């Protein structure tokens, strides 16, 4: 191992891991603010979460806000002043307010049938990477598999007038023959470390692309920079970038001379997504490593990423000559990594959703304050203290964990009386038979299969109840218990169309003509006998 000269590297490499989040699903993107005290995560289910560690130290825990987008979040980027968060999902770039988590504006979705990319105001395919312009707080750059790099400026958007925002500039590849090569990664490079003079991008065929961000000049291509596609690209110094390819090679390039790389080193194949993070002083960078490095090529097929045999790590390299300084083990397969600038903390997101932070021994107390297990310890301590806490209710006192059934603890820590449920009201009480008025005023729905039978059952119950009541009173039971008049009144209210009015003029309808000359039943009083008396004659 070469001598370690960077304090940033020494502090992180000799530090220890602290678990920040136990996982809410696979993470596709991770980015930190410039001061390293804000962390944004993008999930495969379209959720974007922001964590503010300053609020965690003040007693809060968890995300400040979460925003749900339509598709999986592929990439994230903070603005230079950390007030805006750009998120790429699908072919759209969404710009979110960091303070409240509201979407300010979305980019325009381009027309895929227009061949010339300069005639389209937005991406027509999936966005792969996002970078913020350090010189302008409202400017971002995005790359896509449609083969273009687009520049976005939020100052061109008028709030409340447009629902989406067009790009102000588009960079396409120099060659216009055939289909454009997809762009997988993007980075700003300048004459100084924090300038944005050039845009460097890597393609799916291993081509390294360079554009002058100050002009509309065509791209300068370095074909076959890697055998296969370029997975990741990052700026490690002024006019220098490092690339990671599908050929298991890491290469260092001077963008002024792209003919040959400065140095190259072989590094094992990564699992899932490879990511590069540069130290705050630009002297070192880390690369996520996976299966082949630890001889677990079939780790992803084991059924779960939490298998003890599944190990991955993070490789540390020197930015000037690509000397490998060491590798740190990690319990999980990393998908994204970011290095906080001011706090000098290394954040690692695993594919199973867990988020780790590696920091020095002096900063572990700070990280522990932001650790979710810290909150669990505080809750456990609160429960233990509650056992000795005495709450009063009236003239009696009870321990907080031994309240009687008539009391319960509120969310604010107080005590309230539980509402008593009348069990007698819930018991089954048999229904009384309907009274004469209820039978007369009750209307049966027209979709009833047998209206007459329903009325007969109701009247029969009434007759039985009436007969029983008279017998208990010792009174005489009348012969006409069936009460023909009651049946007739109820039937007339239920089906008035079948009842003939004696005062009305006959022969007005077809039904009336059909009933001419037919005598009424002396028992039920209906011409179309319903009681069966006329049929038995």
What confidence score (pLDDT) does residue 437 get?
62
**Length reported for the chain:** 537
252 closest CA partner among 260, 262, 244? 262
State residue 362's pLDDT score: 60
Structure tokens at 139: 């400017």
| C-alpha to C-alpha distance for 507 and 501, rounded to whole angstroms | 12
Q: Are 85 and 64 in contact (CB under 8 A)?
A: no
- Measured over the CA atoms of residue 145, residue 151, residue 155 and residue 156, the dihedral's sign is negative
Q: Residue 3 phi/psi, 5° resolution?
A: -60, 140
pLDDT band at 162 (very low <50, low <70, confident <90, very high): low
Distance from C-alpha of 77 to C-alpha of 138, rounded to nearest angstrom: 12
Percent of the chain scoring above 90 in pLDDT = 21
pLDDT at 143 over 90: yes
At residue 117, what are phi and psi to the nearest 5 degrees?
Answer: -65, -20
With beta carbons less than 8 A apart as the criterion, state whether 347 and 30 touch. yes
pLDDT, tens digit, 9 for 90 and up, residues 481-528: 555 565 666 666 555 555 544 444 444 555 555 555 666 777 776 767
Would you tell me the crossing angle of helices 451-473 and 484-494 to the nearest 10 degrees? 150
In angstroms, rounded to a whole number, what is the distance separating the alpha carbons of residues 443 and 490? 8
d(CA 426, CA 445): 29
- Per DSSP, the residues of 133-174 read -SS-TTEEEEEETTSEEEEEEGGGPPTTT-SEE--SEEEE-S
Confidence band for 430, pLDDT divided at 50, 70 and 90:
low
Average pLDDT over residues 109-120: 80
Q: 381-408 burial, b for 16+ CB within 10 Å, e for fewer?
A: eeeeeeeeeebeeeeeeeebeeeeeeee
pLDDT of residue 494: 59
Q: What is the pLDDT of residue 267?
A: 82
Give the pLDDT confidence score for residue 16 in this predicted structure: 84
Cα distances from 264 to residues 35, 67, 188, 318, 431, in angstroms, run 31, 41, 21, 12, 90
pLDDT score recorded for residue 59? 53
The separation between CA 242 and the C-alpha centre of its own chain, rounded to angstroms, equals 34
Closest by alpha carbon to 110, among 134, 91, 138? 91
Q: Which tens digit of pLDDT belongs to each residue from 279-333? A: 988 999 999 876 544 433 333 333 344 444 445 788 899 998 899 888 888 888 8
Most confident stretch, 78-82, 364-368, 529-533? 78-82
The rounded distance, in Å, linking the Cα atoms of 211 and 234 is 15
| Alpha carbon distance 232, 208 (integer Å) | 11
387 secondary structure, DSSP code: H
How far apart are alpha carbons 387 and 36 in whole angstroms? 40
How many whole angstroms separate alpha carbon 444 and alpha carbon 490? 9
Can you tell me the mean pLDDT for 231-244? 92
pLDDT value at position 408? 79
**Strand-strand pairing, 346-350 and 355-359:** antiparallel
């Amino acid at each position: 191992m070469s001598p370690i000269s960077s304090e940033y590297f020494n502090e992180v490499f000799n530090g220890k891991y602290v678990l920040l989040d136990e996982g809410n699903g696979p993470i596709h993107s991770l980015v930190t603010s410039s001061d390293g005290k804000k962390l944004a995560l993008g999930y495969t289910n379209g959720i974007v979460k922001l964590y503010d560690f300053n609020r965690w130290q003040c007693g809060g825990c968890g995300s400040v806000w979460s925003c749900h987008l339509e598709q999986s979040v592929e990439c994230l980027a903070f603005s230079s002043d950390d007030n805006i968060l750009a998120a790429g999902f699908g072919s759209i770039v969404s710009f979110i307010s960091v303070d409240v988590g509201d979407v300010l504006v979305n980019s325009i979705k381009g027309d895929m049938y227009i061949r010339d990319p300069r005639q389209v105001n937005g991406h027509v395919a999936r966005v792969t990477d996002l970078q913020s312009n350090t010189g302008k707080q409202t400017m971002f750059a995005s790359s896509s598999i449609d083969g273009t790099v687009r520049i976005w400026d939020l100052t061109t958007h008028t709030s409340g007038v447009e629902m989406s925002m067009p790009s102000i500039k588009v960079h396409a590849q120099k060659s216009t023959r055939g289909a454009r090569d997809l762009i997988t990664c993007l980075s700003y490079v300048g004459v100084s470390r924090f300038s944005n003079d050039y845009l460097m991008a890597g393609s799916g065929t291993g081509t390294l692309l360079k554009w002058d961000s100050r002009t509309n000049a065509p791209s300068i291509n370095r074909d076959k920079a890697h055998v296969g596609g370029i997975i990741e690209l990052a700026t490690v110094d002024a006019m220098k970038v490092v690339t990671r390819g599908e050929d298991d090679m890491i290469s260092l390039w001077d963008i002024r001379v792209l003919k040959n790389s400065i140095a190259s080193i072989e590094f094992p194949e990564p699992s899932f997504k490879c990511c590069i993070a540069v130290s705050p002083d630009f002297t070192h960078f880390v690369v996520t490593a996976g299966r082949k490095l630890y001889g677990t090529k079939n780790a992803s097929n084991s059924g779960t990423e939490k298998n003890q045999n599944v190990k991955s790590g993070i490789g540390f390299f020197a930015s000037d000559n690509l000397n490998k300084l060491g590798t740190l083990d990690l319990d999980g397969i990393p998908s994204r990594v970011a290095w906080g600038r001011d706090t000098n903390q290394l954040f690692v997101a695993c594919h199973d959703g867990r988020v780790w932070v590696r920091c020095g021994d002096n900063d572990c107390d700070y990280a522990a304050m932001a650790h979710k297990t810290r909150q669990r310890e505080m809750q456990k301590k609160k429960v233990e203290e509650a056992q000795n806490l005495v709450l009063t209710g009236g003239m009696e006192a009870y321990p907080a964990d031994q309240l009687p059934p008539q009391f319960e603890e509120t969310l604010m820590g107080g005590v309230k009386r539980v509402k008593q449920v009348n069990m007698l009201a819930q018991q089954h009480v048999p229904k009384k038979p309907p009274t004469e008025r209820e039978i007369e005023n009750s209307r049966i729905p027209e979709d009833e299969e047998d209206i007459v039978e329903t009325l007969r059952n109701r009247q029969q119950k009434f007759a039985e109840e009436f007969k029983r009541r008279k017998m208990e009173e010792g009174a005489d039971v009348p012969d006409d218990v069936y009460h023909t008049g009651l049946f007739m009144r109820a039937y007339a209210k239920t089906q008035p169309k079948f009842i003939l009015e004696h005062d009305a003029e006959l022969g007005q309808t077809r039904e009336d003509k059909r009933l001419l000359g037919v005598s009424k039943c002396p028992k039920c009083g209906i011409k179309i006998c319903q009681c069966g008396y006329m049929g038995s004659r």
